[in-house]
Amino acid sequence: MSMPDFPVQGGCVCRSVRYELTAPPLAVYNCHCKDCQRFSGAGWSMSMPVNAESLNILDGSVVHYDKPADSGRVVRMFACAECGTKLWNEPLSSPEMLVVRAGTLDDLAWVRPVGNIWTASRAHWVEIDPHLVNFDGQPPSRDPLYAAWQRQMAAQS
Ligand SMILES: [Zn+2]
Ligand SMILES: [Zn+2]
């Protein structure tokens, strides 16, 4: 497993939306919150924060849904206008960042998650690796996840 050459590409199920990531993400981690379970249709989703300027839409069109969080903040969630695949979120409180759904990348070999958030709401059968960077809920800061991702990238290159 080694880091790819950037840009890398991803897209939706119907192939109408294609995007590229021109630089490595800031981290990859699993989110076990109830909304991610609903949006993914699975036990968790793989969140991949990126600098907004490093994501370019190459083709297709996206629609969005503004999801209010308990904190009162709004998260704008983008999906393919044709097939509805959830592609990325824009936390309106930090517009310089996008949180891409890592499973939409074409190649997942290098996107091994470095941690877990919202473990308190995980399905009881999910085993959390205690050696990863884990939080019961929303992390007060993503910095520990970013640092773990930097260490993993250095080990992979
Ligand atoms: Zn689509
Ligand atoms: Zn979540």
- Indicate whether 22 belongs to any domain: yes
Cβ neighbours of 95 (radius 10 Å) = 10
Task: Identify which ligand lies nearest to the alpha carbon of 43.
Answer: 2
- Indicate whether 96 belongs to any domain: yes
Query: CA–CA distance from 3 to each of 97, 108, 109, 111 (Å)?
Result: 21, 11, 9, 9
Task: Identify which ligand lies nearest to the alpha carbon of 117.
Answer: 2
The residue segments making up the domain with residue 58 are 8-151
Distance 95 CA to ligand 2 centre (A): 18
Contacts (Cβ under 8 Å, ≥6 apart) of 112: 1, 28, 152
| Residue pLDDT tens, the chain, 157 long | 689 999 999 999 999 999 999 999 999 999 999 999 998 999 999 999 999 999 999 999 999 999 887 677 889 999 999 999 999 999 887 889 999 999 999 999 999 999 999 999 999 999 999 999 999 999 999 999 999 999 999 998 7
Neighbours of ion ligand 2 (CB under 5 A): 31, 33, 36
Distance 9 CA to ligand 2 centre (A): 23
Distance 53 CA to ligand 2 centre (A): 23
Residue 6 half-sphere exposure, CB side, CA atoms within 13 Å? 12
- Indicate whether 2 belongs to any domain: no
Number of domains in the chain: 1
- Indicate whether 116 belongs to any domain: yes
Q: What is the CATH number of the domain that holds 71?
A: 3.90.1590.10
Distance 118 CA to ligand 2 centre (A): 7
Pairing of strands 133-134, 86-91: unpaired
Contacts (Cβ under 8 Å, ≥6 apart) of 154: none
